[in-house]
Amino acid sequence: MLDELDIQILRFMQKDARISMADLADKVNSSRSVVWRRIQRLEEDGVIKKQTVLIDETKVGLDVMVFAHVKMQAQNRDSLPGFITKVQNFPEVMECHTLMGDIDFLLKVLVKNVKAYEDFFWNRLSQIEGIREINSSIALTAVKSTTELTVPSSR
């Protein structure tokens, strides 16, 4: 169970994972050693998965974001692992979610242009065995994009 100090630490670290231990300790009104131990525990417990850098995709030439809705031919335990393994190895796929309802998977794909997506679609994604249908939507504008979770208060 997370307490209020853990939650405060997580909130500040989500805003800037490079915050110094001294600054973080000041912001949460605690000592550096206590904050350091808390962060270590949060990492060991898997609450903090990893600390990373967020890159602006357009600044590195990935100008097209596509959401691909994938329907499988059959929804059984035999057909899904092959799809999942292949998708996990495609660097263009940033996220893959299993869904309930008419669509089996939702993929978030980043590529440099529409031609690159067309190539990915025809030569890799649509070649995965067991796919019945893929519907693709190109995102025009991201109105909100965040990695910050709203960590519920312990109260």
Q: Phi and psi at residue 35, in whole multiples of 5°? A: -65, -45
Domain span including residue 103: 57-139
Q: How far apart are CA 18 and CA 1, in angstroms?
A: 25
Phi-psi region of 115 (alpha: psi -120 to 50; beta: other; left: phi over 0): alpha
CB of 136 closer than 8 Å to CB of 66: yes
| Residue 20 and residue 63 in one domain | no
Output the domain CATH number for residue 13: 1.10.10.10
Residue by residue, pLDDT tens for the chain (155 residues) are 899 999 999 999 999 999 999 999 999 999 999 999 999 999 999 999 999 999 999 999 999 999 999 999 876 667 788 899 999 999 999 999 999 999 999 999 999 999 999 999 999 999 999 999 999 999 999 999 999 999 888 66
Same domain assignment for residues 117 and 64: yes
Pairing between strand 105-111 and 64-72?
A: antiparallel
